């Protein structure tokens, strides 16, 4: 290679060395390169087939050169076409196939239209330039019969296709170059340049290629040899991205446009004109795609900041706006208020009614909330049923509280979804910068803690409080702990006896859930029920309590204790139209009659959807399952529901029972409730009886059943069993003297 360069550039060795290089050294180089590439194919690995095609093509090319040197070139009138021409021309189709195979391996099966057009523009523009520079002169100088002219034209056409293919594949690869492809593509491009130079020289009357042309030939094949033995890149080279990827296609488009203009000055060859025209057509198409991509990018950026379901700003945009607000407000020392809103019982609604209904509900909520906010406030959907609200800066606590109240009021009217009137409530947590947190993450965390406090206290909204923060953070982890307990054996049921008010005999029990922690500690439901509701675990929790409670009831009944059991329900249970059938199946599986179970419902749960829940309650009552209205008297419309709901029992809330002996108003409420319930044929349970005076007071008012600490605290099943056995023993002991007296009386009558 150095010898050839010295001869071509410096003229070292003159014509004799040039002939030696052209006739013998080049043959040796071609054969050596073919052998090197063949060894690469034999070694295997990536692109083995392509390397084999390159090796065959180079071998045939070298063989053609040898035959020309030792035989055909020595003839007085070398034939055209000759065997050497056939061997040389075989390099083109084999190289085309190898390049395509090399490019396709590891590439995407479906490339974007823009990438294909880039390839067409680059390849077509280069081919048009080559045709303009070379093809016309070759055609003008071609002589002989048709086959000879076709042979002479085959070389420039093959070179144009080769150059266009290499540049087009580079475009398809996103103009990324690793070392292998750089040498491979560069070698084939140099080969096309060398052939073009030789064709131009022959068209100018030269009989042999120049020494520079010989150098280009040898450089081209040498680059192919180096490419064959480059190591495979450890990492894939990244595509060129952004506007820079359009640089090369733009350059070739300008070349094609220049050729079209040049045609008005001096006529181009028809092939060059057609290629330039096709390149411009492809460039126009690529321009249209570029504008489409720009529009798509703009739309994608908009969508990236917008929630698909509600069309509200999404979490990403909300975080960005909040960050900007904090950065802008920090120097001024003002204040920013953030609200975190979470819908109550939404997961249960979603699971029960279906995700389509849940989505429809979320779409209706957005406009309601926006209507309650100011024009400069920001409302965003953060995910699921959680919404974030960024209030305009410089608002005081009173204004924030008024805004929270307006938001909650906006949700009071029912939402019409699939013919159902759904009633929703929400919990709102409020935190302020810089009073509660100094950065974005801290502010969101504080508002989340406040929201959880609002949910637990059922206050609607709550401001962040540092005093309650640790407790709230602990409760935030309860949902995960509860889920694990449901998966394992961490859920237990304690039972609180319920007794006949007059006879003081235990007639039933209420099943009360407990959670056993990994360390053995027992957790009260007051601690984790809100977490169950927030985490969507209420339905599973009711199911587990029902299973455990009915299992124990079946054991008690089999041992002679004729009891009933009361189980609390949630909104999620009562919204599920399959719940009645599930309860009935659980009873039948244990051989229990339907009236052995009392399901307790609260007024607040009924208000979630009175129509749908009313249908579920009617189905339960039709199956013979008893219903009890729990916490009676705490709602605003208890009397209305009492006459319309299919309940057979009411449980007066403990807040009235506890004060009735000291407060005449509470005593009057209890008395009126008992009288009204009895008028409607409904039994009454007094909950929270903790002393004898209260027991006697409610008994004298006609109350049917008693429940409270005076009778018993909630106890594990074995301890309740001991109470039941002891009571049965006492009853038998009391019945024995009565039985003897009856027997004695019968004996006296007989003797008489």
The model's pLDDT over 487-545, given as tens digits with 9 standing for 90+, comes to 888 999 999 999 999 999 999 999 999 998 888 888 888 778 777 876 778 888 999 99
Q: According to the model, what pLDDT value does residue 108 have?
A: 46
- Tally of CB atoms within 10 A around 285: 16
- The confidence score (pLDDT) of residue 330 equals 59
* Per-residue model confidence (pLDDT) at position 109: 47
Stronger pLDDT, 566 or 128, i.e. the higher one: 566
Determine contact, residues 198/259, Cβ cutoff 8 Å.
no
pLDDT over 70, % of the chain: 80
Closest CA to 536 of 408, 356, 385: 385
Given pLDDT bands bounded at 50, 70 and 90, which one contains residue 637?
Answer: very low
* The dihedral formed by the CA atoms of 187, 193, 195 and 200, expressed in degrees to the nearest 10: -170
Q: What is the pLDDT of residue 1?
A: 58
Highest mean pLDDT among 46-55, 590-599, 608-617: 590-599
Q: What is the pLDDT of residue 612?
A: 78
Integer Cα distance of 344 and 148 in angstroms? 88
CATH of region 478-727, choose from 3.20.20.450, 3.40.50.720, 3.20.20.70, 1.10.150.110: 3.20.20.450
Say yes or no to pLDDT of 393 above 70: no
What's the pLDDT score for residue 322?
87
Q: What is the mean pLDDT of residues 211-226?
A: 87
Least confident of 110-114, 256-260, 490-494: 110-114
Do residues 238 and 185 lie in contact, with contact meaning Cβ atoms separated by under 8 Å? no
- Round to whole Å and give the CA distance between 58 and 224: 10
The whole-number average pLDDT for the span 484-488 is: 87
**DSSP calls for 431-478:** EEETTT-SSHHHHHHHHHHHHHHHHHHT-SEEE--GGGHHHHHHHHTH
**C-alpha to C-alpha distance for 144 and 147, rounded to whole angstroms:** 8
| 628 contact partners, CB below 8 Å, separation of at least 6 | 566, 598, 599, 600, 601, 647, 648, 649, 650, 651, 685
Most confident range (mean pLDDT) of 128-132, 226-230, 331-335, 530-534 is 226-230
Farthest-apart Cα atoms in the chain, separation: 165
Say if CB 168 and CB 282 are below 8 A apart. no
What's the whole-number mean pLDDT along residues 30-46?
Answer: 88
Quote the Cα angle for 375-380-384, to 5°.
150
Residue 634 pLDDT? 57
Mean pLDDT of 379-399: 83
pLDDT band at 443 (very low <50, low <70, confident <90, very high): confident
Arithmetic mean of pLDDT, 303-321 = 82
**pLDDT above 90: residue 234:** no
Domain residue ranges in the chain: 2-107+173-231, 315-476, 478-727
Residue 29's pLDDT band, with cuts at 50, 70 and 90, is: confident
Question: What pLDDT sits at residue 237?
Answer: 47
Structure tokens at 362: 């979320």
Q: What is the mean pLDDT of the chain?
A: 81
Instruction: Indicate the CATH number of 315-476 among 3.10.20.90, 1.10.730.10, 1.10.150.20, 3.30.70.270.
Output: 3.30.70.270
> Distance (Å, rounded) from C-alpha 282 to C-alpha 120?
7
If you ran DSSP here, which 8-state letter would residue 607 be given?
T
Choose between 551 and 249: higher pLDDT: 551
* Integer Cα distance of 389 and 373 in angstroms: 9
Q: Would you call 620 exposed, middle or buried from its count of C-beta atoms within 10 A (0-12, 13-18, 19+)?
A: buried
- Mean pLDDT computed over 452-458: 78
Across 54-58, 100-104, 630-634, 669-673, the highest mean pLDDT is recorded for 54-58
Q: What is the pLDDT of residue 742?
A: 54
Judge whether residue 30 has pLDDT over 80. Answer: yes
What does the pLDDT read at residue 395? 65
Of 316-320, 420-424, 603-607, the least confident: 603-607
Tens of pLDDT, residue by residue over 656-668, are: 898 888 888 888 8
Report the pLDDT value the prediction gives residue 636, as an integer from 0 to 100. Answer: 44
Tell me the percentage of the chain whose pLDDT exceeds 90. Answer: 25
How far the first Cα of the chain sits from its last, in Å, is 148
Please work out, in degrees rounded to the nearest 5, the angle formed at the alpha carbon of residue 606 by the alpha carbons of 602 and 611: 155
Is it the case that residue 348 has pLDDT exceeding 80?
no
The yes-or-no verdict on residue 319 having pLDDT over 70 is: yes
């Amino acid at each position: 290679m150095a010898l050839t360069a010295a001869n071509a550039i410096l003229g070292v060795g003159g014509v004799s060395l040039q002939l030696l290089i052209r006739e013998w050294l080049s043959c040796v180089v071609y054969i050596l390169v073919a052998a090197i590439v063949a060894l690469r194919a034999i070694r295997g690995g990536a692109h083995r087939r392509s390397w084999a095609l390159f090796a065959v093509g180079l071998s045939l090319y070298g063989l053609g050169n040898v035959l020309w040197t030792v035989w055909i070139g020595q003839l007085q009138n070398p034939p055209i076409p000759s065997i050497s021409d056939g061997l040389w021309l075989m390099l083109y189709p084999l190289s085309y196939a190898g390049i395509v195979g090399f490019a396709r391996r590891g590439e995407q099966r479906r490339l974007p239209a823009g990438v294909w057009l880039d390839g067409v523009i680059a390849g077509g523009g280069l081919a048009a330039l080559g045709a303009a520079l070379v093809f016309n002169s070759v055609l003008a100088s071609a002589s002989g019969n048709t086959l000879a002219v076709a042979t002479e034209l085959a070389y420039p056409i093959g070179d144009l296709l080769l150059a266009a293919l290499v540049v087009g594949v580079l475009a398809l690869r996103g103009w990324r170059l690793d070392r292998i492809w750089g040498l491979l593509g560069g070698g084939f491009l140099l080969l096309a340049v060398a052939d073009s130079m030789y064709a131009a020289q022959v068209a100018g009357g030269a009989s042999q290629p120049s020494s520079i042309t010989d150098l280009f030939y040898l450089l081209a094949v040498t680059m192919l040899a180096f490419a064959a033995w480059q190591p495979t890149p450890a990492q894939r080279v990244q595509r060129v991205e952004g506007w820079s990827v359009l640089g090369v296609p733009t350059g070739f488009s300008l070349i094609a446009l220049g050729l079209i203009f040049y045609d008005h000055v001096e006529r181009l060859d028809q092939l060059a004109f057609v290629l330039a025209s096709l390149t411009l057509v492809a460039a126009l198409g690529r321009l249209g795609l570029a504008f489409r991509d720009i529009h798509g990018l703009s739309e994608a950026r908009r969508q990236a900041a917008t929630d698909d379901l509600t069309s509200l700003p999404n979490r990403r945009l909300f975080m960005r706006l909040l960050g900007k607000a904090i950065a802008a407000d920090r120097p001024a020392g003002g204040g920013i208020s953030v609200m975190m809103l979470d819908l109550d019982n939404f997961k249960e609604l979603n699971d029960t009614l279906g995700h389509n209904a849940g989505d429809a509900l979320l779409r209706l909520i957005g406009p309601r909330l926006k209507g309650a906010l100011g024009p400069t406030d920001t409302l965003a959907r953060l995910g699921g049923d959680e919404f974030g609200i960024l209030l305009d800066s410089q608002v005081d606590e009173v204004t924030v509280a008024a805004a929270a109240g307006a938001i909650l009021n906006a949700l009071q009217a029912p939402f019409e979804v699939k013919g159902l009137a759904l009633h929703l409530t929400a919990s709102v947590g409020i935190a302020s910068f810089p009073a509660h947190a100094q950065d974005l993450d801290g502010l969101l965390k504080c508002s989340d803690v406040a929201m959880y406090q609002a949910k637990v206290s059922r206050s609607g909204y709550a401001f962040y409080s540092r005093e309650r923060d640790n407790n709230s953070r602990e409760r935030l982890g309860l949902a995960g702990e509860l889920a694990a307990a449901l998966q394992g054996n961490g859920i237990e049921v304690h039972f609180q006896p319920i007794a006949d008010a007059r006879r003081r005999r235990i007639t039933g029990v209420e099943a009360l859930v407990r959670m056993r922690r990994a360390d053995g500690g027992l957790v009260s439901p007051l601690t984790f029920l809100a977490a169950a509701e927030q985490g969507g675990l209420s339905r599973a929790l009711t199911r587990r309590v029902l299973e455990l409670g009915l299992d124990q009831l079946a054991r008690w009944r089999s041992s002679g204790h004729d009891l009933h059991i009361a189980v609390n329900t949630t909104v999620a249970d009562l919204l599920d139209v399959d719940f009645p059938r599930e309860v009935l199946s659980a009873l039948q599986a244990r051989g229990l009659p339907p009236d052995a179970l009392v399901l307790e419902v609260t007024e607040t749960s009924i208000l979630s959807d009175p129509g749908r829940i009313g249908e579920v309650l009617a189905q339960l009552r039709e199956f013979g399952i008893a219903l009890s209205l729990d916490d009676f008297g705490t709602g605003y419309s208890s009397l209305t529901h009492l006459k319309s709901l299919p309940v057979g029992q009411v449980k007066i809330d403990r807040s009235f029972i506890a004060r009735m002996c000291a407060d005449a108003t509470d005593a009057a409420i209890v008395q009126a409730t008992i009288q009204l319930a009895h008028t409607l044929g409904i039994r009454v349970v007094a909950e929270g009886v903790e002393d004898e005076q209260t027991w006697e007071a409610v008994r004298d008012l006609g109350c049917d059943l008693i429940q409270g600490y005076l009778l018993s605290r909630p106890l594990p099943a074995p301890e309740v069993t001991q109470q039941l056995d002891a009571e049965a023993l006492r009853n038998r002991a009391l019945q024995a003297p009565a039985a003897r007296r009856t027997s004695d009386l019968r004996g006296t009558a007989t003797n008489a």
